[in-house]
Chains A and B, each alone.
Chain A
Amino acid sequence: MKFWISCLVVALAAGGLAISGINEYFFFAAFVVLTYIVLATAWNILGGYAGYVNFGTSAFFGAGAYAAVVLFQALGAPLAVQIAAGALTGAALGFGVGVMTLRLRGIFFAIATVAVVFIMETLMINWRYVGGATGLQLQRPEVMAPFTTYARMLFVVMTLMAITAVGIARYIQTSWLGRGLRAVRDSEEAAEANGVPTLRLKLIACVVSGALMGAAGAPMPMYLSFIEPASTFSLNYAIGALAAPMIGGTIHWLGPVIGAIVLASLQQIVTVTISGEINVLVVGVLLVLFVILAPDGILGLFRKWLKSSSR
């Protein structure tokens, strides 16, 4: 109950900000942070709970973005429909990739997911309808009241999506699904020996994860008024989605949220004050530091600090 009340508070706060007089650029930057909250939470469902490291977040994200573009170009579909399409596409891709690769261990699964990214990118490069490598200019529709600009509306939409994603992750974590995935992560062979349907569990996690990533990708073309394959399928999304849970903590749903807020906010600040590519360096360095020094992430550090201070 406490959880849902906090979510309501967050949603109302977002709505309040969106109609306030705060600088426009805040919404432009906050959208990215919220996107990473969704991506990190989605990644953690398969990566943190089940232990299957997905390097291919960009493939699902990009698939969602392009699904949205297709619907927008063909039918002038509204944003809600675009997001639904993104989620469905992400889910379908998650199922396909899962069936093909979830039987592979560790690094083979990871490399297979990288392969999916490049194959998706190549497919989009060769599809003229969505612009090929050139890309497409997109004219946003008029924004509805009470929002004064499209960016503010996207901010609220993304906040709602983040809340939904976190809610789903929390449910999985505390349910039978979560227990099964933890068994897979701790020892897949033992789990199988005990009759846990590991492939089915992993597949469910992969589908849910993919759906959320696809949904996160859908608003991106409207956000930029432009889409092209190279940046949409950029591995930068993959490393961000992977780094955030590693930094925040992978065991609990709060980890990816904390990690994404810390990481993406830092990136936005760096982009505005220093330069664009240093922000990728920030991700890489933080990832390596946390992975070596604090494997349980910020949550882990917090727990240790709590334990030591209660003595």
Chain B
Amino acid sequence: MKQSRRNALKAGAALAASTALPRFAIAQGGTVKIGMSMPQTGSLGAGGQAALLALRMWVDEVNVRGGLLGKRVEFIVYDDQTNPANTPGIYTKLLDVDKVDLLIAPYGTVPTAPIMPLVKERRKLLMGNFSFQVNAKVQHDMWFNNSPWNDATSWSDGFFRAGTKAGAKTTAILAADNDFAQSLANGARTLAKKGGIKVVYDQNYPPATTDFSSLIRAIRAAKPEMVFVMSYPNDSVAIIRAVNEIGLGSQVQVFGGGMVGLQFTPIMSSLGGLLNGVLNYNSYVPGMKYPGIEDFLKRYAARAKDAKVDPLGFYLPPFNYAIGQMLEQAVNGTNSIEDAKLAAYLKKTELRTVVGPIKFGKDGEWASARVVQAQFRGIADKDVEQFRSPNKQVVIYPDAYKTGEAITPFEKARKAK
């Protein structure tokens, strides 16, 4: 748990000191405190660091504009190390020791799930951060998620369609035993049943698993035509490597689906050519037309270079910046920082963000989903900049963003340019 309070204060002080920037009603008395924990180390760490940079960008920019309600925004962040056991303590501390006004959730389902009951009990608004179905059981009415998916259908549909289009009738399901993967796997099983797809292999693995060669062998023996994997970054990397070591068999049409981490720039560049042919989800790939995204990515890239973080900033940063934008609109729209008032505003308003318009539906998730399934093609090793080109990740679903068809079977897609 690293205390980034000093960094936040330093940024604020530097900003106030820089006379070159236009000054509006810069806060004289009082601050608005926004607090969160962010996984900056551990499995989600690579993604979390990029996401955090985008949030800091927003905090700095909003303070230049005069802060929220005329008060400077103070940003307090801790590192939860992707460990769900750490977040209840951190959020209790944020509320009782740091006395923050507004809460943002940590990036990811796994660190967020434990704090849902706590936040509901304390009647606090929580801005969700790329969690999947984490509010389904708790039903907190002040939860608003920034991720472009809602239920399992929005996610799995594209993957299954690509497979069945190629004639696949069977699937394997390999899921980590954590909140995210289990929710997604449950949804996938229901969808498979509805679509007449037979599940020939269905296994969970504990999150600490590092060697997947036995599991991949067992999958291969089951001869599935689709392999749907729901994994967290460390496992995603290990699974990709194991698939390259052991092989899945020539009958597999599509492989991937729900592998977190293959969207993080450091992981993409370290896996390189091993990614070819993998059909996986994403929130944004180059080429998708969101208003304002190009400008955001440019501003982000400049800061990322100094901070030595993910230089591309595709997957999480735009959506984390959007959290800030949504909070700003809600605070300005209600002229208050009271959780209940902000929640009411967010529920009924269509918000304008750098990833397009966001309207919330059931359970605080998006009314209409926008998650894409894209296939990696022609990736070379050790080249980060190649990922800026749109044809390295070909979007095959949904139709609104489609740029090509999936190449099947998987073995063929691995060799395609």
Contact = CB atoms under 8 A, between A and B. Distances in A.
Q: Are A and B physically bound partners?
A: yes
Contacts, number: 80
A230 B137 contact: no
A272 B94 CA distance: 10
Contacts of B207: 133, 230
Contact of B97 (A140, A224, A272, A276): A272
Interface in A224-282: 224-226, 228, 230-231, 234, 271-272, 274-277
B116 interface: yes
Contact of A134 (B95, B97, B182): B182
Interface string B390-409: 00000000000000000000
A125 B206 contact: yes
Contacts of A231: 83-85
B344 interface: no
A132 B206 CA distance: 9
A137 interface: yes
B56 interface: no
Nearest to B135: A137
Contacts of B208: 230
Contact of A228 (B84, B93, B97): B84
Contacts of A274: 3
B385 interface: no
Contacts of B113: 135, 137, 226
Please list the 10 inter-chain residue pairs (A to B) with the smallest Cβ-Cβ separation, ordered nearest first. Answer: A231-B85, A133-B177, A225-B117, A226-B114, A25-B96, A276-B1, A24-B96, A224-B88, A133-B206, A25-B97
Interface of B: 1-3, 81, 83-86, 88-89, 92-93, 95-97, 113-118, 120-121, 137-138, 177-179, 182, 204, 206-208
Given A135-B114, A230-B85, A271-B1, 5 more contacts: A137-B114, A140-B121, A226-B84, A228-B85, A231-B83
Interface of A: 23-25, 28, 125, 132-135, 137-140, 150, 224-226, 228, 230-231, 234, 271-272, 274-277
22 contacts: A25-B96, A28-B89, A125-B206, A133-B204, A134-B178, A135-B113, A135-B179, A137-B113, A137-B138, A139-B121, A140-B117, A224-B85, A226-B84, A226-B114, A226-B117, A228-B85, A231-B84, A231-B85, A234-B85, A275-B1, A275-B3, A277-B1
